[in-house]
Chain A
Amino acid sequence: MWEVIKMDHSETVLKARQFMERVMEQMMLVNKFEEQVFALFAQGKVHGTTHLGIGEEATGVGSVFALEEQDYIFATHRGHGQVISKGAPIKNVMAEILAKQAGANHGRGGSMHIADVGVNALCIDGVLGQNCPIACGVGLSFKMKKQDDRIVAVFFGDGSMNQGAVHEAMNLAAVWSLPVLFICVNNTYGMSTPLHKVAADTDLTKRGYPFGIRSVQVDGNDVLSVYQTVREAREYIIKEGKPAFVVENTYRTSGHSKSDANQYRTKEEIAEWKAKSPIVRFRKVMLENGFTEAEADAIDERTTKAIEEAAAYAESCPEAAATPEQIEAEAYA
C-alpha cells in the first residue's frame, strides 16, 4: 500500500507528498463526517444515538492506512472513522446512520454496528471489549487456512481495557500465536471516567507484558507516528506470527454521545486539546514540508463537498423496510 515514512528524515517525508495529501484528506473526511452527523443530529434527523470521535482522527486513519487491503478490522463503537478509512463508502455509512435501506447494514445496525465486509471491516461492537475474542477467531481462521499474508486489527478504548474479554483475548492470541493487532485508542476518558480512576497504573502498554505481547505506545495525535508504529507492528506480526499491542494516546473533543453535557471536564481542557488536534498538527507538518496554504485549503474544500454529497444522498434514500415475516427470518441464514 503506502511506503513507510521515516519521521526523522524530512527528505523521505517530502518524497511521500502524495501520501501526506491522502492522509490529510482522510483525516478531514473523518472529521467532517463526524461534524455532519452532529449537525444532522441537531436537526433531529438521526434516530437513536451515535458516538463521535472528533479529535481522534489520527488513530483511525493512521492505523488503518498502515494495514493492507487483505487485513481485517474490528472498529470501536466510536468507529465511523476507522470503518471509512478501511474503505467503506461514506455515502453508505452515512445512510446507515440515517437508518436507510441503502445503508452499510441496511438500517439494521446503525452507528453502533457499522460494518462493510466488502472492505474487511467487520461489525462494530456495542458491548465494549467483546470484539477482541472475536478478532482472535478471525486470526485463528487465517492461521488454519494458512493465509499468512494478513492480520486482523481490533480497536478498543481505554475504558474497555478493564474488560476481562480483552485480557482473555490477549492470552488466547499469545498462546495460540495469532496474527492479531490489539489497538487501544486511549482517548483519556471512558465516557466520563478518567483513566486514573479505573486503572492503578495508567501505562496501558503494561497490560500486554504478562502475555508476552510486544506492546508499544504512541502519540495518537501525530498521524505519521501512528502510521509508523502500526506499520511496524504489522510487519512484526506477519514476520513473527505473534500478536502485538499498540496504545494510541489521544483525546476526544466531542462529547461521548448526544447525552454528554461535558460535566466531567473543563472548557479550557477541551480548547487546549482542540489546539493540538491531529488535523491542526498535521497541517503544520504539511506546510513545513512544501505544501502551500492554498493546497491545504483545497483538501478542506473537496472533503467538505464530499461529505455534503454523502449526506444529501443519505437523506434522499428510502427508509429501511421489511415485512414482519422478513424481519423474523433475517437473523438466520
Chain B
Amino acid sequence: MREITYAEAVREAMSEEMRRDETVFFMGEDIGVYNGAFGVSKGMIQEFGEERVRETPISETGFMGAGVGAAMMGMRPIVELMFSDFMAVCYDQIINEAAKQRFMLGGAVKVPMVIRTASGGGTGAAAQHSQSLEQMYCHVPGLKVVIPSTPYDAKGLLKSAIRDDNCVIFLEQKLLYRTKGMVPDEDYTIPLGKADVKREGHDLSIITYGRTVQMSLAVADRLAKEGHEIEVVDIRTLSPLDKNAIIASVKKTGKAVVVHEAVEFGGFGGEIVSTIADSEAFYRLDAPIKRVGALFSPIPFNPILEKMVLPGEERIEKAVRGII
C-alpha cells in the first residue's frame, strides 16, 4: 500500500490495463504532452505512443462515435471527455448508439467502452463546465454509470469498467483529483454494482456517492462526538444500483438522508428514496427521508454564489440533525 492521488489512481488503472491488454487504447482531447486538462494522463503518450494514446480533434461526436465503432470491433477504447458537460455535444453517440447497439442487433455485438469524464463543480468554471449530469445516463438502459469517491475505489472500479463488456460512463469529480488515499501495489479490481459502507453506524444512514461521501464522513465524525453513530453508504455505481445495500442500511438505522452534488430536483437521489420507500425498509422508517443536493440553478461563476448552490457539510449536517 502507498498513498497516491485520485488522478494518479485513474492513470495507474489505465496504464496497467493498457499494458495487460493490447486492445485497450485511450483517446481524447489534449491527452498527450499536455497530459489532459487535469493532468491525469501524465507520461502515457511517452509510454504507449500516439497510436494508443490518440489525440482527437475537437469533435466530440466524431471521436465518441469512433469509440463505439472500435468497441464493436473488439477494441476496448477509453474515451476521455474533457468535461462531462460536453456529453451534450455527443449525446446521440452515447444514448442512441453506444447504449443501444447490442440490443438493436439482437445481442450480436458488444460495446466494451469506457467514457471517462471530469464532472462536478467547485472550481469556478461556471455553468457549462461544472455540472453533475449522472442521472441523465442512469435513465438509459444499456449504460453503466460509476462515480468513485476515493483513489482506491477509482483505480479498482476503473479497471473493472475497462474489463467490462458494456459502455461504462465513469465520472471523476474534479475536486477529487488531488485528494489522496491508500492504494495497494498489486493488481485489484472492485466489482461494478457493489456499494461500500464507508462508515458503520446504527442511528442514521447517509446514502451518497462521489465528493459528498467525504463531506458526509466529516459530518458523521462531528456528530459522533455527540454520541450519534451515522452510517455512510457510498453507492459507487449508480447503474446497476446495489439496492440491497441501501435497503439493508436503512432497515438497520430507520433514518435516511440522501446526498449528492447534482441538482436535487430530478436527481438520482429520487431513485434512492424510491428504492427505500418501495422496500421493507419503509416499515422501519422513524422519520421522513431527507434529500440534499444542489439548488435548482445553473452553477454561478461567483465563488460565494457557487458555494451557495452546491451542497456542503453545513446543509448535510442540518438535514441529519433535522431527523436524528
A residues with a Cβ closer than 8 A to B are 103-109, 113, 115, 117, 122-123, 125-127, 130, 132-142, 144-145, 164-165, 168-169, 171-172, 175-176, 328, 330-333
Contact = CB atoms under 8 A, between A and B. Distances in A.
Nearest to B52: A144
Nearest to B60: A168
Contact of B165 (A122, A137, A165, A333): A333
Contact of B57 (A103, A125, A172, A328): A172
B65 A141 contact: no
B57 A171 contact: yes
Chain B contact patch, size range: 35 or more
Given A136-B69, A138-B70, A144-B75, A168 B105 contact: no
Given A141-B73, A168-B57, A117 B105 contact: yes
Contact of B97 (A105, A108, A134): A134
A140 B105 contact: no
B195 interface: no
Interface stretch (B107-115, B251-259, B282-290): B107-115
Given A108-B106, A168-B57, A332 B70 contact: no
B67 interface: yes
A87 to B, nearest CB: 15
A164 B142 CA distance: 25
A122 B72 contact: yes
B322 interface: no
Interface string B56-98: 1101011111111111111101000000000000001100110
Given A332-B102, A333-B112, A137 B59 contact: no
Given A108-B104, A122-B109, A330-B102, 11 more contacts: A109-B105, A122-B72, A130-B97, A134-B72, A136-B65, A138-B69, A165-B92, A168-B61, A169-B62, A172-B57, A332-B166
A165 B62 contact: yes
A168 B106 contact: no
A107 B104 CA distance: 9
Given A113-B105, A130-B97, A136-B65, A171 B73 contact: no
B99 A331 contact: yes
Contact of B71 (A117, A137, A144): A137
User: Which of B56, B57, B73, B110 has the most CB atoms of chain A within a 10 A radius of its CB?
Assistant: B73
Contacts of B77: 137
Given A127-B92, A168-B59, A135 B108 contact: no
B93 A140 contact: no
Contacts of A117: 105, 108-109
B270 interface: no
B69 to A, nearest CB: 2
B307 interface: no
